[in-house]
């Protein structure tokens, strides 16, 4: 009996060790996500500094002098000691070399000339070349003033990459002369263009580039001020640049030797961090020798098991084994493995998942346990059945659906990797006119198919629309969440709960959308929905107009201190033309065609009869307008210029939201009630 008890104790201890390792891994992942988000946020400061210089140069139409540059940059230098220098390096043709050297002398830069390095830490007069990129201004001033950045192969590669790509870039790590070993810096190069934006034609960019705004900053003080000692307690952290030269990839480490340790540690976790055009890595490993320290729980369990009776040891082992099996089952739903929650709302919780056999990335939507009343279940099941009828490429695809044995409804759909219109607007503000037309045309086409099948979405808003890349188009729209969808024309038959068919005496929505009950989102759903009245196809047209309004204006059409206040304003007023707001939110707003303003406001007319009656009618009217065309090259250029910043901000916000998330228990499925079962 004692031998059996010892065997059971060993098994139970093994289960506990595995469980503790799992908990340690999850904690390490959580710490990594937290540290990455804080580091990412810290790097906003040097980015803001270099973008501010670029804006200042454009605002002065490049007529800046040394004194003005010093006055503009002084507050940033004083406030941010981690910044080593803020610099301006114009592109100078050989024919203009003498003129810029004379200009520098006139501004008090005695002895300033365009120089090369002499190979020993000094500078010599630069050899003749077709063009130069010398440091004209630097605050604080340093010995490199006049140095031609294009004279060094690695710096010239940065310059050409930024110029030809039309976007800001980050250098490899730098070792400043006055800094000790282990304190590294990087430089952010922001190209400044003659007309404010890079030409679409790559060949024309060489002539349009006038210089670079540069921010050189030390990485360590930026990160350590953001993290503090408490955030790094108990772990080693390293920030590395995989694209850097071999041997020079460490940008920061939490203590000397930490980078080498974390990169070779058996238990470590790595997260990708996007900074301008680079993807760096934050790697975290726990300190200490895990094998040398046995938790007190294991010592107590081992000693107690040796002295315990067979019955107590056996019961403990059985209980631990059952608990472990339940923990493994909690992440399974039939053939799908649930990975993590990625979103949720009033109509369900969404998980990222993977099919066990197909290995296909999938999104699973479940009706939350606290919304399990009959009406919510019926609306949830109706959503997936009606969405599955749609085959338009701009509508999220449905793979599978069914119910768990306890009646919890779920469905599987394609997992999208992109950003919502809501996230795009919160980071980027008003969009180019041609881009809004391109996006709305796709949205209207998708809703047009729904209307042709007698379906109304009823909850179109920026949070339910996503931008993904499909078929080489980085601005491809996907319509999500048909949670409030309604059938306009009653079906002839409707399946009952047992798989049979019963005659539909009225719309399938009967009993689900009752007069006087408000459905939708204030500001984007039509006024009739805010009043609790029936919503038809013209209601979706109103929502499309409101989304279009937000894309052009960079803000919702209506604002208020609460959703109720927004709804009250909406049902009693018409917003001003969206072009009215662009002048306040865009430095150089492009002209919005008056007929575009008029069409949007007609879509948002408070009276449904004054709007285009359906998405197809709206699309026909849009096709008649002479509006700018947004090409795939336009989209690629936009993402090359702004994508890194937009994705970085969105990634940080999602990471912060994920830190507050919770894992949800799931259940096995009822095969008899699956789609086609």
Our measurement of the distance from residue 105's CA atom to the centroid of its chain's CA atoms, rounded to an integer in Å, reads 47
Q: What angle do CA 252, 257, 259 make, to 5 degrees?
A: 50
The torsion defined by the Cα of 642, 644, 649 and 653, in degrees rounded to 10, comes to 130
168 vs 327 pLDDT, higher one = 168
Lowest mean pLDDT among 27-36, 253-262, 315-324, 500-509: 500-509
* Residue 225 binned pLDDT confidence (cut-offs 50, 70, 90): confident
DSSP E strands in 67-166: the ranges are 83-90, 92-93, 115-117, 123-125, 131-132, 137-139
Token pair listed for 471: 């078929």
- Rounded distance, CA 492 to CA 487, Å? 12
| Position 346 pLDDT exceeds 80 | no
Do 44-223 and 331-415 agree at the fold level?
Answer: no
| Position 589 pLDDT exceeds 90 | no
Token pair listed for 59: 């605002």
The 3-state DSSP class for residue 240 equals: strand
| Position 74 pLDDT exceeds 90 | yes
| Position 412 pLDDT exceeds 80 | yes
Q: What is the pLDDT of residue 509?
A: 42
Q: Of residues 116, 172, 459, 509, which has the active-site annotation?
A: 459
Are residues 380 and 411 in contact, defined by beta-carbon separation less than 8 angstroms?
Answer: no
Does domain 331-415 correspond to CATH entry 1.10.1060.10?
A: no
Lowest mean pLDDT among 209-213, 376-380, 521-525, 608-612: 376-380
pLDDT in tens, 629-667: 999 999 999 999 998 889 888 888 877 765 554 433 333
Q: Give me the residue label for tokens 């349009």.
A: 208
601 vs 245 pLDDT, higher one = 601
Token pair listed for 297: 């729980």
Task: Specify the long-range contacts of residues 20-29, CB closer than 8 Å, at least 24 apart.
Answer: 20/295, 24/267, 24/286, 24/290, 25/267, 25/269, 28/235, 28/267, 28/268, 28/269, 28/284, 28/285, 28/286, 29/269
Token pair listed for 406: 């306890």
- Rounded distance, CA 350 to CA 355, Å? 15
Our measurement of the distance from residue 421's CA atom to the centroid of its chain's CA atoms, rounded to an integer in Å, reads 11
Domain boundaries defined on the chain:
44-223, 232-293, 331-415, 417-488+502-634
Our measurement of the distance from residue 250's CA atom to the centroid of its chain's CA atoms, rounded to an integer in Å, reads 26
| Position 670 pLDDT exceeds 60 | no
DSSP E strands in 256-397: the ranges are 268-275, 278-286, 332-333, 336-345, 348-355, 361-366
104 contact partners, CB below 8 Å, separation of at least 6: 66, 112, 113, 136, 146
Tell me how crowded residue 402 is: count the other CB atoms within 10 A of its CB: 22
* Helix 66-79 vs helix 44-59: crossing angle, to nearest 10: 160
- Rounded distance, CA 154 to CA 136, Å? 20
**Within the chain, what is the greatest distance between any pair of CA atoms?**
98
**Strand (E) or helix (H) holding 495:** strand 493-495
Q: What is the pLDDT of residue 410?
A: 80
Q: Across the strands, what pairs with 341?
A: 351
DSSP 533: -
Q: Which one, of 622, 32, 561, lies nearest residue 268 by Cα?
A: 32
| Position 297 pLDDT exceeds 60 | no
CATH code of the domain occupying 417-488+502-634: 1.10.510.10
**Average pLDDT of the residues in 74-90:** 93
- Rounded distance, CA 526 to CA 664, Å? 34
| Position 228 pLDDT exceeds 80 | no
| Position 212 pLDDT exceeds 90 | yes
Exposed/middle/buried for residue 493 (C-beta within 10 Å: 0-12, 13-18, 19+): exposed
4 contact partners, CB below 8 Å, separation of at least 6: 310, 313, 314
* Residue 495 binned pLDDT confidence (cut-offs 50, 70, 90): very low
Task: Write down the CATH superfamily of domain 44-223.
Answer: CHASE domain (3.30.450.350)
Token pair listed for 207: 């002539």
Query: Among positive and negative, which fits the CA dihedral 49, 50, 51, 57?
Result: positive
Q: What is the pLDDT of residue 561?
A: 84
DSSP per-residue string spanning 7-72: HHHHHHHHHHHHHHHHHHHHHHHHHHHHHHHHHHHHTHHHHHHHHHHHHHHHHTTT---HHHHHHH
Token pair listed for 14: 């093994």
| Position 445 pLDDT exceeds 90 | yes
Q: Across the strands, what pairs with 192?
A: 211
* Residue 614 binned pLDDT confidence (cut-offs 50, 70, 90): very high
- The verdict on whether 277 is a catalytic residue reads no
**Average pLDDT of the residues in 206-222:** 93
């Amino acid at each position: 009996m004692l031998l059996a008890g010892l065997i059971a104790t060993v098994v139970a201890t093994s289960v506990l060790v595995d469980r503790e390792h799992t908990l340690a891994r999850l904690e390490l992942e959580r710490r990594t996500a937290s540290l990455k988000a804080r580091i990412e946020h810290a790097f906003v400061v040097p980015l803001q500094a270099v973008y501010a210089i670029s804006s200042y140069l454009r605002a002065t139409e490049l007529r800046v002098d040394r004194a003005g540059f010093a006055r503009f940059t002084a507050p940033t230098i004083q406030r941010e000691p981690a910044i080593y220098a803020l610099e301006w390096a114009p592109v100078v043709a050989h024919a203009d070399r003498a003129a810029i050297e004379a200009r520098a002398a006139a501004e008090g830069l005695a002895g300033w000339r365009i120089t090369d390095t002499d190979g020993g830490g000094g500078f010599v007069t630069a050899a003749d070349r077709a063009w130069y990129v010398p440091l004209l201004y630097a605050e604080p001033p340093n010995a490199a003033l006049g140095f031609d950045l294009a004279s060094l192969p690695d710096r010239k590669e940065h310059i050409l990459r930024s110029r030809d790509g039309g976007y800001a870039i980050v250098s490899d790590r730098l070792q400043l002369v006055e800094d000790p070993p282990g304190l590294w810096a990087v430089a952010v190069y922001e190209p400044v263009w003659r007309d404010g934006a890079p030409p679409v034609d790559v060949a024309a960019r060489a002539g349009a580039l006038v210089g670079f705004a540069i921010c050189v900053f030390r990485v360590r003080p930026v990160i350590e001020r953001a993290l503090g000692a408490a955030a790094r307690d108990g772990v080693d952290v390293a920030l590395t640049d995989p694209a850097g030269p071999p041997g020079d990839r460490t940008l920061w480490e939490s203590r000397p030797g930490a980078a080498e340790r974390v990169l070779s540690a058996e238990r470590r976790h790595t997260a990708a961090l996007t900074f301008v055009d680079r993807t760096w890595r934050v790697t975290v490993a726990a300190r200490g020798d895990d094998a040398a320290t046995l938790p007190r729980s294991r010592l107590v369990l081992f000693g107690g098991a040796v002295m315990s009776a067979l019955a107590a040891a056996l019961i403990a082992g059985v209980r631990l084994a059952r608990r472990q099996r339940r923990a493994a089952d909690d992440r399974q739903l039939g053939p799908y493995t649930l990975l993590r929650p990625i979103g949720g709302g009033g109509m369900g919780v969404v998980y990222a998942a993977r099919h066990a056999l197909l290995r296909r990335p999938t999104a699973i939507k479940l009706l939350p346990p606290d919304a399990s009343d009959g009406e919510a279940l019926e609306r949830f099941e109706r959503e997936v059945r009606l969405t599955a009828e749609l085959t338009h490429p701009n509508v999220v695809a449905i793979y599978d659906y069914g119910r768990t044995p306890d009646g919890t409804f779920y469905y599987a759909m394609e997992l999208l990797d992109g950003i919502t219109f809501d996230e795009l607007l919160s980071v980027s503000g008003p969009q180019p006119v041609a881009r809004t037309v391109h996006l709305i045309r796709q949205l209207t086409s998708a809703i047009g198919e729904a209307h042709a099948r007698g379906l109304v979405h009823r909850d179109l808003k920026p949070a339910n629309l996503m931008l993904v890349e499909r078929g080489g188009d980085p601005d491809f729209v996907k319509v999500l969440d048909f949670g409030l969808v309604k059938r306009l024309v009653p079906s002839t038959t409707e399946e009952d709960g047992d798989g049979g068919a019963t005659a539909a005496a009225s719309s399938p929505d009967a009993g689900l959308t009752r007069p006087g009950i408000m459905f939708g989102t204030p500001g984007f759903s039509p006024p009739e929905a805010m009043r609790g009245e029936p919503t038809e196809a013209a209601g979706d047209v109103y929502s499309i107009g409101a989304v279009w309004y937000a894309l052009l204006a960079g803000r919702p059409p209506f604002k208020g201190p609460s959703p109720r206040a927004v709804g009250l304003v909406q049902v009693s007023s018409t917003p001003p033309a969206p072009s009215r707001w662009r002048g306040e939110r865009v430095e150089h707003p492009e002209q919005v065609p008056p007929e575009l303003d008029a069409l949007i406001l007609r879509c948002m007319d408070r009276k449904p009869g004054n709007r285009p009656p359906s998405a197809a009618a709206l699309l026909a009217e849009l096709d008649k307008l002479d509006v700018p065309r947004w090409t795939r090259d336009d989209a690629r250029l936009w993402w090359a210029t702004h994508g890194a910043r937009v994705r970085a901000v969105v990634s940080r916000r999602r990471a912060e939201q994920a830190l507050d998330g919770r894992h949800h228990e799931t259940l096995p499925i009822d095969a008899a009630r699956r789609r086609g079962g």
